[in-house]
């Protein structure tokens, strides 16, 4: 079968590999029909996630049709159309019992090292040996461990190109909004106008926000304005001085600042603004300027939520502002997809959520390597691709 594999730093390739087989009796083999590339895949492309191996199959957002089931599978059967969660959860451990599946104890090593550096949350499809070395879904077939837990049936009125995004981006954006306490009347500022930030902006309104302000520096702000007309935007590249964003947000909100700040960036560092996962190889860096911007922007007793992926320790963190002004600083974690996906599927069915607003390109699996390079450079207005397999 064909699959997109990692071939070293900044090199991916569509190659022929062997088809996966059932290993455990709780496995399902899925014939992939749709997948996508996530902002998080760029961390892999850049070789900045440790424990990548040549030949690793990428892809953690995908859907497909059940092809084969292990002897203990009871909830799905051959021919069912399903979406997979990006996390691989066991469904029965301490955290899975609370549907906090991103912290599954069976597919994750709950070590001191984990507590220090993070990153080793539940197993993940196509996301290096750091998260279990599970083959991903940018392929014709993949093996889904704990298939009864990690697959959700898609009804006929939800096409692949919508249902697919329940894997990750929709659940992630939803989690970032509800976990940070966006509620009726909240003024919300979102850093990053990528797919996660865009959906977070949309979901902030769905959860009652009165205003949503999105901060970024490129063409995506125009995209946001065209697709989400109620959203206000700030182009940080046009602002002067190190506190430009903070000053602008205060000006826009009667001097107090937004109630809630959502970090939907990380992994990107134009003009040296960010120091995150990419340069965290030494696992000790300066704080991303964004985090201080968020802390300093929000009103007193405001909330700051971090969904962009960070690794390890950080310095120059404005703990003084957090303490004196009562700021709630919240790590949103990898989104616990299982907590939300049934409800979010219903919202897609009702038309409350339209994932297609994010999709800019439709491509074929065979072209995925070229797509990665374009996606990396944000060329051609590319932000979210629907990959038909
Ligand atoms: P993306 O790369 O498509 O978008 C990030 C955006 O941030 C870009 O438009 C970029 O221009 C903008 N940006 C860069 N520097 C900025 C700054 N200083 N201020 C404001 N904006 C800035 O990424 P995405 O797919 O939207 O994902 C966003 C983040 O969410 C990534 O770090 C990704 O790894 C993470 N993520 C987390 C989870 C989770 O469960 N926690 C799941 C999926 C993705
Ligand atoms: Zn992702
Ligand atoms: Zn578990």
For atom 42 of ligand 1, the residue with the nearest CA is 172
Top pLDDT among 49 and 2 is at: 2
Reported as a single tens digit per residue, the pLDDT across 235-244 is 988 887 778 9
For atom 13 of ligand 1, the residue with the nearest CA is 192
Reported as a single tens digit per residue, the pLDDT across 282-310 is 434 455 678 889 999 999 999 999 998 77
Residue 305 Cβ inside 6 Å of ligand 1? The answer reads no
Asked if this assembly's ipTM is beyond 0.90, the reply is: yes
Reported as a single tens digit per residue, the pLDDT across 75-118 is 999 999 999 999 999 999 999 999 999 989 888 755 555 555 55
The CATH architecture of the domain made up of 171-331 is 3-Layer(aba) Sandwich (3.40)
Residue 174 Cβ inside 6 Å of ligand 1? The answer reads no
Reported as a single tens digit per residue, the pLDDT across 263-288 is 998 753 433 333 344 444 443 445 56
Domain 2-168+335-388 annotated CATH 3.90.1170.50: no
Every domain range in the chain assigned CATH 3.90.180.10: 2-168+335-388
What is the atom index within ligand 1 of the atom nearest the CA of 334?
Answer: 40
Span from the CA of 185 to the centroid of ligand 3 (angstroms): 36
Q: Is the pTM of this model over 0.90?
A: yes
Confidence grade of residue 129 (pLDDT, cut at 50, 70, 90):
confident
Q: Is the dihedral of CA 328, 251, 215, 184 positive or negative?
A: positive
The stretch 144-152 carries a mean pLDDT of: 98
- Residue 320: CB atoms within 10 Å: 9
Residue 216 Cβ inside 6 Å of ligand 1? The answer reads yes
- Residue 316: CB atoms within 10 Å: 13
User: Using alpha carbons only, what angle is made at residue 352 by residues 34 and 363, rounded to the nearest 5 degrees?
Assistant: 20
pLDDT score of 313 more than 80: no
Every domain range in the chain assigned CATH 3.40.50.720: 171-331
């Amino acid at each position: 079968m064909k699959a997109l594999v990692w071939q070293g730093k900044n090199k991916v390739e569509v190659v022929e590999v062997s088809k996966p087989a059932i290993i455990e009796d709780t496995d399902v083999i899925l014939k992939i029909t749709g997948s996508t590339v996530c902002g998080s895949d760029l961390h892999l492309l850049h070789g900045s996630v440790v424990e990548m191996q040549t030949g690793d199959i990428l892809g953690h957002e995908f859907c497909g049709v059940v092809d084969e089931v292990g002897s203990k599978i009871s909830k799905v059967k051959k021919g069912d159309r399903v979406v997979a969660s990006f996390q691989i959860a066991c469904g029965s451990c301490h955290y899975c019992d609370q549907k906090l599946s991103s912290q599954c104890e069976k597919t994750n090593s709950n070590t001191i090292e984990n507590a220090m550096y993070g990153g080793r949350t539940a197993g993940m499809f196509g996301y290096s040996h750091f998260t279990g070395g599970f083959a991903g879904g940018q392929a014709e077939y993949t093996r889904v461990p704990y298939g009864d837990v990690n697959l959700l049936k898609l009804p006929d009125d939800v096409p692949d190109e919508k249902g697919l995004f329940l894997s990750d981006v929709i659940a992630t954006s939803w989690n970032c909004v509800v976990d940070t306490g966006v509620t009726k009347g909240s003024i919300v500022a979102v850093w990053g106008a990528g797919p996660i930030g865009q959906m977070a902006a949309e979901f902030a309104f769905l959860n009652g926000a009165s205003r949503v302000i999105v901060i970024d520096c490129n063409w995506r702000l125009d995209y946001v304005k065209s697709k989400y007309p109620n959203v206000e935007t700030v182009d940080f590249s046009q602002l002067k001085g190190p506190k430009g964003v903070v000053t602008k947000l205060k000006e826009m909100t009667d001097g107090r600042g937004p109630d809630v700040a959502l970090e939907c960036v990380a992994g990107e560092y134009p003009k040296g603004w960010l120091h995150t996962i990419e340069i965290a190889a030494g696992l000790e860096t300066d704080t991303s300027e964004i985090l201080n911007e968020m802390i300093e922007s929000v009103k007193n007793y405001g909330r700051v939520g971090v969904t962009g992926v960070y690794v390890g320790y950080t310095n120059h963190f404005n703990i003084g502002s957090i303490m004196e002004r009562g700021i709630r600083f919240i790590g949103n974690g990898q989104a616990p997809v299982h907590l939300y996906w049934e409800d979010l599927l219903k919202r897609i069915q009702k038309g409350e959520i339209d994932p297609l607003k994010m999709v800019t390109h439709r491509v074929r699996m065979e072209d995925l390597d070229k797509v990665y390079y374009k996606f990396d450079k944000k060329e051609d207005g590319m932000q979210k691709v629907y990959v038909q397999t």
